[in-house]
Amino acid sequence: MTETSILRVESVSLSFGGIQALNRVDLEVLPGEILAIIGPNGAGKTSLLNCINGLYRPDSGHIFFENLDITPLKAHKRARLRMGRTFQHTELFAGMTVLDNIKSGRTMDIQANFFGAFFHVGKAVREEMKHRRELEETVIDFLDLNHVREQPVAMLPHGLQKRVDLARALALNPKVLLLDEPMAGMNIEEKEDMASFFLDIHRDLGATLIWIEHDLSTVMNLSDRICVLNFGEKIALGTPDEVRQEPDVIEAYLGQEEAG
Amino acid sequence: MKSIVTDLYSAYYAPYIKESYREDEAIFKSRFQRTWFALLVFALVALPPFMGGYHTFFMTQVLIAVIGAHGLNILLGYTGQISLGHAAFLGVGGYTYSYLAMVLHWPFWLAIPASGLTAAGLGLFIGIPSLRIKGIYLGVATIAFQFIADYTYFHWTTFSGGPQGRAVEAPAFFGYAMTSPLSFYYICLFMAVVLLWGAKNLMRSKYGRCLMAVRDNDISAEALGVPVFKYKILAFVISSFYAGVAGALLVIHLRNVYPAFFHLNVSIEYLAIIIVGGMGTVMGTIFGALFIVLVPEILSNLISSLAQWAHNPDITVLMAPMRLIIHGFLIILFILIEPAGLAGIWRRISSYWKIWPLPYI
């Protein structure tokens, strides 16, 4: 399995002061799968995502991406390996337009030198227009953001902001896409739209999706495998059916819901 | 009836319709904007010979302020890194120019870019604290640089000429001394147009997007592959280059270099320019510079006529600190009432006229 995994988390621990956010978590992600991370509040889901894309440095353990040890790499270097990321509380560039937000996902692909950009000549302009066309024809069209592209993101409603966040991550042509509660605060229709976007991304772009979600029925329907975290420990990993049977999970997560 | 209205509507909006991405990303997107801009440039080129020395001198002052202030705008308005030591960078440019041109006898067209580059080189180091500190703390760190620079300008006499300063001659172009304020006005106009146009171009490229990404959200910028620290440093370098060029032009303009040109209050003045004008826009820099240079000028004219009228020359002395008080007052007023500055007011008015008279079709 080691040979085939696209992302491997090896015994990663992370603590904030006295709180153990992650305790020796192991996880292997297969290329092209949809893997959900679930767990109660404070289980360490976002911390795990932050360790994977480099916003947090784990206290111990290693993270491999396509068999390359990326533990010492900073977040922007990891993004350059085509690791996209969206955020729980949309962390968009509030002062920029939708288009500029999405374009900023292409930073690593634009080679133009400073003086070309300063004088707006030659390769710099051609490159800019090439990426503009690509983004328009793929990401913007795909996520149906045509009508808002010139608007400042701060003016958009929450559901659209979430979509811009996803578009920005897609703009960097991710091999792995880390999505932190992409459906939080959405109504059923918006969730359904989002779910269909996921399946399209997965099918058309062949990206591996790792996502955090609280809505269990959506998780069970969309995911190939589910990883359950509780108090920083991985308590289960498997297909939705396997996870549903797991006594630890029922006790830690589902059981609570039933009791409540 | 309906069709006449829609025909009118589409005729009115025809110039706004774009047929290529390149057109869509142009600086001046409509024919109207291009026409107005052409008229403005024509006026700036054609009018000064008829304006007389005083007004030309004044306009030159504004152009220099525009260049210097846009440097600060790139740093603070576009990248969100505060600097209270901007005047110190102007000083680096001014003193480097005076040394290169007066002591080493470099021609001005070499010495001006060299002054900018020297300031930019220093900016590279002064930007380093921004790796660890943000906001007001960075402001304090840059004040420290301001004081160190003040001290250096005062005491390093071989380089700076010390407290009595150094005279700066009119620039000479292959032996021909350009002593008239008019020729220097055109040099400043050329520099301002090139530097503002370049800055605008940068902001519609990857570089500008990265700078703004750092300002708006450094964490997600990092997660999108933007090397945040590199771009913070880049902002300091560009900003100090603009300041250095403005400083060099300033000492040529005033024919002299003194430590007092580059004190902390000048840094505050530049801050006032971009706050009053509007942060993060080229328009803001232009409006702000015009306003901040214009207001004290009008005020001092008023005060001197007041002194004349009252037959009391003491009034002029009494009112001398008014300039700083006015700047402080304007900063507070604009932060409270119009954070988008004069450029924001301008945008509201122009977007109103863009949809006038058929706003709801």
Domain residue limits, chain B: 52-290
Q: Is the pLDDT of residue A28 over 60?
A: yes
Q: Is residue A5 part of a domain?
A: yes
Report the residue of B22, B204, B206 to disrupt the A interface, i.e. the one with the largest count of A CBs within 10 Å. Answer: B206
- What is the structure's pLDDT at A255? 57
Q: Is residue A213 part of a domain?
A: yes
Shortest CA gap B70–chain A (Å): 15
Q: How far apart are the first and last CA of chain B?
A: 13
Residue in chain A lying closest to B230 (CA): A76
- What is the structure's pLDDT at A1? 46
Last residue of a domain, one of A139, A155, A172: A172
Q: Do B224 and A118 touch (CB under 8 A)?
A: no
Q: Do A96 and B216 touch (CB under 8 A)?
A: yes
Count of structural domains, chain A? 2
Q: Do B224 and A169 touch (CB under 8 A)?
A: yes
- Distance, in Å, from the CA atom of A158 to the CA atom of A163, rounded to the nearest integer, reads 9
Tell me which chain A residues have a C-beta less than 8 angstroms from the C-beta of B22: 125, 129
* A257 and A193 within one domain: yes
A260 confidence band (pLDDT: 50, 70, 90)? very low
Q: Do A91 and B21 touch (CB under 8 A)?
A: no
Nearest to B196 by CA among B246, B253, B234, B123: B246
Q: Is residue A87 part of a domain?
A: no
Q: Do A128 and B25 touch (CB under 8 A)?
A: yes
Q: Is the pLDDT of residue B361 over 60?
A: no
How large a percentage of chain B has pLDDT more than 90? 58
Closest Cβ–Cβ partner in B212, B219, B226 for A96 = B212
Q: Do A55 and B219 touch (CB under 8 A)?
A: yes
Task: Give B175-223 as a DSSP string.
Answer: TEE--SHHHHHHHHHHHHHHHHHHHHHHHTSHHHHHHHHHHH-HHHHHH
Q: Is residue A88 part of a domain?
A: no
* A130 and A8 within one domain: no
CATH number of the CATH domain containing A1: 3.40.50.300
Residue with tokens 């904007």: B33
Higher pLDDT, B181 or A178: A178
* A181 and A250 within one domain: yes
Q: What is the mean pLDDT of residues B34-40?
A: 89
Closest Cβ–Cβ partner in A85, A91, A118 for B201 = A118
Last residue of a domain, one of A110, A138, A172: A172
Nearest to B201 by CA among B240, B248, B245, B238: B238
* A236 and A200 within one domain: yes
Inter-residue contact A37 to A212 (CB < 8 Å): yes
Closest Cβ–Cβ partner in B204, B209, B220 for A91 = B220
* A181 and A168 within one domain: no
* A108 and A46 within one domain: no
* A188 and A76 within one domain: yes
* A160 and A127 within one domain: yes
Q: Is the pLDDT of residue A3 over 80?
A: no
- Distance, in Å, from the CA atom of B106 to the CA atom of B94, rounded to the nearest integer, reads 14
Higher pLDDT, A133 or A18: A133
Q: Which residues contact A54 (CB under 8 A, 6 or more apart)?
A: A70, A73, A74, A75, A76, A77, A78, B222, B223
Last residue of a domain, one of A128, A157, A172: A172
A259 confidence band (pLDDT: 50, 70, 90)? very low
Q: Which domain holds residue A121?
A: 93-172
* A237 and A117 within one domain: no
Structure tokens at B360: 């709801």
Mean pLDDT of chain A: 89
pLDDT single digits (tens) B48-104: 888 888 889 999 999 999 999 999 999 999 999 999 999 999 999 999 999 999 999
Q: Do B206 and A117 touch (CB under 8 A)?
A: yes
- What is the structure's pLDDT at B191? 95
Structure tokens at A204: 């058309």
Q: Do B201 and A132 touch (CB under 8 A)?
A: no
* A161 and A180 within one domain: no
* A197 and A138 within one domain: no
Shortest CA gap A124–chain B (Å): 8
* A232 and A118 within one domain: no
Give bridge partners of residue A212 from the DSSP assignment.
Answer: A37, A180
Q: How far apart are the first and last CA of chain A?
A: 39
Report the residue of B224, B242, B279 to disrupt the A interface, i.e. the one with the largest count of A CBs within 10 Å. Answer: B224
Q: What is the mean pLDDT of residues B231-257?
A: 96
Shortest CA gap A70–chain B (Å): 14
pLDDT single digits (tens) A83-114: 999 998 889 999 999 999 999 999 999 888 89
B209 confidence band (pLDDT: 50, 70, 90)? very high
Q: What is the mean pLDDT of residues A154-183?
A: 92
